[in-house]
Amino acid sequence: STPRMSMARVRGGLAIGLLLLLCAAMVAFLSRSRDIFLRSSRLGVPSLRNNRVAGLSRLSRRIRPQIGPTGASAFASAPDAKRVLVCIADGSEEIETSGIYDTLIRGGVDARLVKVGGSDKADLKCKMSRGMTFVAESHLEDLDEKAEAFDMVVLPGGLPGAQTFASSPRLLSMLKDRKDNGQWYAAICASPAVVLEPNGLLPGKATCFPGLQDKIASQLSNDPSASRVVIDNDCKVVTSQGPGTTMEFGVELLSILVGDEKADEVAKGLLIQRAAVPA
C-alpha cells in the first residue's frame, strides 16, 4: 500500500506542477498581449475591429455617396459652389444618373438628387430602368427653393422615368421658368424628345436618343451622327444621346458651370477625350 500511496502522491504532484506551469504560461501570454496592445495604442495603430468598421464605412460611402456638400471629402463642394438639381424618377436610366452626378461632384459642383413623382413623398427610393435602387436627397414637391435658385436642372433619360418627368406640373413649371429667364437646363437620351420638345422647351438645336430623333427632327443639329452632345448657347439648353455619351455630357455641363479648365481636368481624370460640340 505504501508504494501505491507514494505513486499517487507523485502523480498528484506532477499534475499540480503542470497546472502551475499552464497558469504561468497563460499569465505571460496575457501580459505580452497587453504590452502589444498598449504599444499599438500609443503608436496610433487601429484595432482589427476598427479596421473592419472603417473599411465598411469607406465602402458604404462609395456605394451610396452623400448628397451635395456632405459628399466624399476628396470632391467636397465649396460653400459658393454651383448648385445643380439632378432629377430622378422610377424608371430613370442608371448609367446616365450616376454618371451625371459623379462628373458634377468631381468638378466641385453641389449636385442634388431630387425625386420626381410617386404617390408617397416620404419614399425617396427610385427603382431605376434596369432594376437598381437609387435614393434621392429630397422630393421635388418638398423643395423650398425656386427654379432660379439653381444654376442648372438636369434630366437623365430612361423610360418610364422621362414620362414621369413629363407628367410633373412642378418640374415643367420650373423648366419653363428657366427658359423664360434664360437659365440653363439639360437633358439626355429620351428626355429631350419626351419632356422638352412636347412642352416647347426645345426651341433650338438639339439631339436625343437615336431611336427618338424623329420626334425632334426640326431641332436636330446639322450633323446628327456627330452630335453626341449639343450645347445651344442661345437657348441655354444642353442635350445628349444616351448612356454611352453620359460622361461627355457631364463634362460639357462642367464647362458651362465652372469653366473649361476644370472640365478639362475632370475629363483627363476620367480618360475622356473632349470632342467638338456642334450647336
Spatial distance between the Cα atoms of 16 and 213, rounded to a whole number of angstroms: 91
Cell of 113: 438628387
Residue 160, preceding peptide bond in cis (omega within 30° of 0)? yes
User: Per residue in 95-119, is it b (16+ CB within 10 Å) or e — as a string?
Assistant: bbbbbbbbbbbbbbbbbbbbbbbbe
Alpha-carbon distances, residue 136 vs 22, 68, 99 (angstroms):
60, 11, 15
Q: CA 205 from chain center: how many Å?
A: 29
Distance, CA of 139 to CA of 123 (rounded, Å): 8
Q: Please name which of 157, 159, 251 lies closest in space to residue 207, comparing C-alpha atoms.
A: 157
Find the catalytic residue in 126, 189, 208, 235: 189
208 is catalytic: no
Instruction: Point out the residues that are catalytic.
Output: 189
